[in-house]
């Protein structure tokens, strides 16, 4: 079976490094881009199993990326986990309304992120 893949869309390098480490540790192939337009191009090039998508991005926002992706029936099975530092109830509702499958507010624990990724990927946790 092919390794499942994650596209990480995060513009802050330090956060991306930490998240990328955790995603790889879970056993997933990782690609990373830093803006919304690059996210759409990367998804079009090779759709991942999961997109970990920051809300606040240069180019297009995470909300816009999510909405555009959800309009494409060919990408219906792709999961989207949105992450943001602005984690009010309004942002969370908006994320789910745009089609997100999960939503985490920064700061979040490694365990919370791992649990969300494993749940969305349909895998069992290793530990």
Per-residue pLDDT of the chain (127 residues; tens, 9 = 90+): 468 999 999 999 999 999 999 999 999 999 999 999 999 999 999 999 999 999 999 999 999 999 999 999 999 899 999 999 877 788 899 999 999 999 999 889 999 999 999 999 997 544 3
Residues 6+ away with beta carbon under 8 Å from 15: 106
Question: What pLDDT sits at residue 123?
Answer: 74
Question: What pLDDT sits at residue 88?
Answer: 79
What CATH number is given for 5-121 in this structure? 3.40.50.2300
């Amino acid at each position: 079976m092919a390794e499942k893949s994650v596209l990480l869309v995060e513009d802050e390098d330090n956060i991306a490094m930490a998240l990328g480490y955790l995603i790889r540790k879970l056993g997933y192939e990782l690609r990373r881009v830093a803006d919304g337009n690059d996210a759409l191009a990367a998804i079009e090039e090779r759709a991942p199993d999961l997109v970990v998508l920051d809300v606040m991005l240069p180019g297009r926002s995470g909300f816009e990326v999510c909405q555009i992706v959800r309009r494409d029936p060919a990408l219906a099975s792709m999961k989207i986990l949105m992450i943001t530092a602005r984690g009010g109830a309004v942002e969370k509702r908006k994320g789910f309304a745009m089609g997100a499958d999960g939503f985490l507010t920064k700061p979040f624990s490694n365990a919370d992120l791992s649990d969300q990724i494993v749940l969305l990927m349909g895998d069992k946790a290793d530990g």
